[in-house]
Amino acid sequence: MSLVTVITDDVLSAPGLVKNNHVCVETTSLEMVTGWRRKPEGLCRGEVCVPVREPEALESDGVIDLEVMAKLLGRRSVSAPEIGVIALARDGSDRKNALEGLRAPDFLLRDLDGRPFTFNETSGRKRLIVTFSSWCGCRYDLPGWQALSDELGEDNISIILVAFDDNVEVVRPFTEGISLPVLLDQQHLLSELYAISNVPTVVWIDEKGTIVRPNELAFGTDTFADFTGVSSEPHLNAIRAWVQHDVSPMDAVDARGAIADLSDDEIDARLHFRVGAEARRRGESDVAESHLRIASTLAPMDFSVRRAAMPLLGEDPFGQEFLDLYDEWKESGSPYHGLPIDAPEKGTR
């Protein structure tokens, strides 16, 4: 038996094989890579068990068919059987709880030095999740977020910077002088958990883990204000009022359901992106390009997919490919999963 790779929140390898063009993992390794166990009563995780009505389709010869498992669990999946890789989507209830229930899902990511960071460890204080990327001009906004944290005091607010990037070293130069937590999200996990489709996206979360202001395209500086037409100050002032005077940023009724859920195509695009990025890390250029192109086709206006794929495809995310995407995005009405942009006719360089 060889090794197969399972991409969920992380990239994990375990004994398995490719059978009938499906990626399968050894039954005894299932829990390690997915968190689920095969028991007589079904597929189980904690106290939850999902019955298996056709066990022979799920398990045979000591391996679990991960595509069959995903369907049983109501999850979407994308695989590259030629290289033994499969990506599994998160449980959609996590995202639904965030978008409709306004409950911030916990997550575990690593900082640029590989140290684990769990979101729930910051509970008890107000928090901002700020997503950015090396392929976005918002990489120059980090000093602005640092200055805001210094001004307000880290005991009053935690600002967590999350980079949608494939490589630590392309992010590190932009974090010089930054003491805020900077996390690397190679799988774009937060784009799935919070339905984020562009950067910089900011999410406000209170001391109890309630999302009080959902996804919003916002900036930490005015570096690109002439280009975007959006000043950073109104948003930064609202944060100050929230932290210093507990001024609610928006009504919970308005916040609940304000962000549209991801479509099946958008979820599949994220899975294809993850498979393509993993194939690229392995040097499987043809497989990588195929999946990254599919991802861009499935979510053509999603910058966290299409623009993020550009550097992985050898394209310039600040060059003509981006300018063409930007024009296409504007002509489509500047769509994204977030609160209305102050200047929708402008872009998000």
The ranges of the chain annotated as CATH 3.40.30.10 are 91-349
- The rounded mean pLDDT for the chain is 95
CA proximity to 152, closest of 240, 264, 20, 258 = 240
Q: What is the DSSP letter of 130?
A: E
pTM over cut 0.75: yes
Query: Do residues 138 and 219 lie in contact, with contact meaning Cβ atoms separated by under 8 Å?
Result: yes
Percent of the chain's residues with pLDDT above 90: 94
Q: Which residues 6+ apart lie within 8 Å of 123 measured at CB?
A: 207, 208, 209
Q: CA-CA distance, 163 to 185, in Å (whole number)?
A: 6
Q: How far apart are CA 22 and CA 85, in angstroms?
A: 10
**pLDDT tens profile 162-202:** 999 999 999 999 999 999 999 999 999 999 999 999 999 99
Q: Where are the alpha helices (DSSP H) in 132-224?
A: 142-152, 168-171, 189-193
Alpha helix ranges (H) inside the chain: 30-34, 55-58, 66-72, 92-99, 142-152, 168-171, 189-193, 225-228, 233-245, 252-255, 264-281, 285-298, 306-312, 320-331
* pLDDT score recorded for residue 286: 98
Question: Stretch 89-93: mean pLDDT, rounded?
Answer: 94
Residue with tokens 């929708």: 344
Question: Which of these, 275, 258, 259, 289, lies nearest to 197 by C-alpha position?
Answer: 259
Before 200, cis peptide (omega within 30)? Answer: yes
For domain 91-349, say whether CATH 3.40.30.10 is its number.
yes
Angle between helices 142-152 and 233-245 (to 10 degrees): 30
Residues 28-55: what's their mean pLDDT? 96
d(CA 274, CA 276): 5
| DSSP element (H, E) containing 340 | none
Write down the pLDDT at residue 344: 35
End-to-end CA distance of the chain: 47
**What pLDDT was estimated at residue 307?**
98
